[in-house]
Amino acid sequence: MTPSEIQSIKLRFGIIGNAPALNYAIQVAAQVAPTDMTVLITGESGSGKESFSKIIHALSPRKHGQFIAINCGAIPEGTIDSELFGHEKGSFTGANEARKGYFEVTNGGTIFLDEIGEMPLGTQARLLRVLENGEFIRVGSSKVQKTDVRVVAATNVNLLDRVQAGTFREDLYYRLNTVPITVPPLRERGEDIYLLFRKFASDAAERYRTRPITLLPDAVPVLTRFRFPGNIRQLKNIAEQMSVLETERDVDARRLAPYLPQDQASRLPMLLGGPGAADGSAAGNYSERDLLYKILFDMRRDMTDLKKMVLELASGQRPHEAQELLRQNSHLFSNTGAAAAFDGNGGNEYFLPAPASPYHSEPTTSYDDETPVEDIPHETEEETLSLDVKEREMILKALKKHNNKRKYAAHDLGISERTLYRKLKQYDLEQV
């Protein structure tokens, strides 16, 4: 597909931006549109997944049929089967008449199932039958009906994780994932952020009949470096807020800063160029465990460097400096009454007496410059490398830091509240 064809699709569907990952996603959507293949669109909430489902429908032979978008997470579990497949009169309390479901209404068209990961397991089995055979049964009926519907699904979670957790059917996952499309988050689209801001500011100015907000040169990098956890939706809200609240239409970095919440910036390291990145510059599909591994190994390296420094001070006949350094960093060592230091060659290991508590007055040993420090070999308890143990400890520390306020603990850990609740249940910490 030529760049001009991609640009034509952007103009038709109001898509703004030139990021390579965005262009590639549009190209895949346009190529798969003429077929009847099932498509799975993945991307963070607010990144614009529904626009791609509309592209697929509008460029397909089904474009004259009906298009319906359904948020699976917004329909109660008890009624989702009735909404999708219909029901017969009297099939349940309140079913006063027969009703057609979405799969029956959109026969010959396209149905977009957003947040497919929130679909109940029972409904997943019904959906799989539709995808395999084009058959469904209304709630309360025994009659098999046929439908010719193209399914486009979308999710903002990792469905393979749901499969491993037993909350999503593996056969349905592979049936949906015939053609995957990954929509990049806003923070990975570079200069597209500023282009979108100008568009939203212009729209807001037209709506409120005022001059558009203009960012001064020092404010543009501040905007483009922000992580935007709410993606395009959050950027649009910021542009509209500024259009209403700012008295000066030219905004510098200082005036922009209050509109970018600092507590929404990620505190976890960002891994670059990993597997799963669409263009080699994004973080890819790294899991929370991958990020935690990086944090733990960084901490381990820092601790090893500190131990080497202590040994150098001790070997240089400066035991007092070594004791002071140990006292200041005692939180990094085990509470065994001694602190370990490595010689850096992976061989010998030495121990120095732990510094005296500041709350007790005890005589200390006086060292002469000529008195060598005795090296006493000692066996240490092997440090655990279990990720589950470390992860549990970090969760406990975050909860303690924020007085058991789970919302703030989740922000501090860089995970969602839902993930934190799942971790608390996994590690039996629900009563904490």
Q: What is the pLDDT along the chain (432 residues), one digit of tens a residue?
A: 889 999 999 999 999 999 999 999 999 999 999 999 999 999 999 999 999 999 999 999 999 999 999 999 899 888 899 999 999 988 888 888 889 999 999 999 999 999 999 999 999 999 999 999 999 999 998 899 999 999 999 999 999 999 999 999 999 999 999 999 999 999 999 999 999 999 999 999 999 899 999 999 999 999 999 999 999 999 999 999 999 999 889 999 999 999 998 755 544 444 444 444 434 444 444 456 666 766 777 777 777 777 776 676 666 655 566 566 566 665 555 444 444 443 444 444 444 444 444 444 444 444 444 444 444 444 444 455 567 788 888 888 888 888 888 888 888 888 888 888 888 888 888 776
Q: Are 232 and 195 in contact (CB under 8 A)?
A: no
Q: How far is CA 165 from CA 157, 396, 428, in A?
A: 13, 23, 17
Strand pairing category for 144-146 and 135-137: antiparallel
Sequence-ordered strand ranges (E) for 183-275:
214-215, 250-251
Q: Which of 48, 57, 58 is nearest to 25 (CA)?
A: 48
The pTM assigned to this predicted structure is 0.60
Cα 40 from Cα 35, distance rounded (Å): 14
| Dist. CA 430–CA 376, nearest whole Å | 44
Query: What residues contact residue 274 under an 8 Å CB cut-off, 6+ apart?
Result: 283, 284, 285, 286, 290
Q: How many residues does the chain have?
A: 432
User: Tell me, what DSSP letter sits at residue 380?
Assistant: -
397 CB-near residues (< 8 Å, 6+ apart): none
Non-local CB neighbours of 383 within 8 Å, separated by 6+ positions: none
Q: What is the pLDDT of residue 53?
A: 95
Beta strands in 262-386 (DSSP E): 338-342, 349-353
Q: What domains are there in the chain, each with its CATH number?
A: 3-184 (3.40.50.300), 187-264 (1.10.8.60), 297-382 (no CATH), 387-426 (1.10.10)
The residues, any chain, with a CB within 8 Å of residue 76's CB and separated by 6 or more, are none
CA-based end-to-end distance of the chain:
56
Range 70-77, long-range pairs (CB < 8 A, 24+ positions): 70/102, 70/111, 70/112, 70/113, 70/114, 71/114, 71/115, 72/113, 72/114, 72/115, 72/116, 72/117, 72/118, 72/119, 73/114, 73/115, 73/118, 74/115, 77/120
Taking alpha carbons only, the member of 82, 165, 81, 157 closest to residue 117 is 157
Packing angle of the helix pair 49-58, 20-32 (nearest 10 deg):
40
Q: 21-24 contacts: CB < 8 A, separation 24 or more?
A: 21/182, 21/184, 21/188, 21/189, 21/278, 21/279, 21/282, 22/183, 22/184, 22/189, 22/192, 24/278, 24/279
Query: Angle, to 10 degrees, between the axis of helix 417-426 and the axis of helix 387-401?
Result: 120
The vertex-59 CA angle with 56 and 63, nearest 5°, equals: 95
Q: What angle do CA 74, 76, 77 make, to 5 degrees?
A: 125
Name 97's Cβ contacts closer than 8 Å, sequence gap at least 6.
Answer: 89
Specify the residue for token string 């992976």.
Answer: 346
| CA-wise closest residue to 394 among 285, 289, 250 | 289
Contact 334, 381 (CB under 8 A): yes
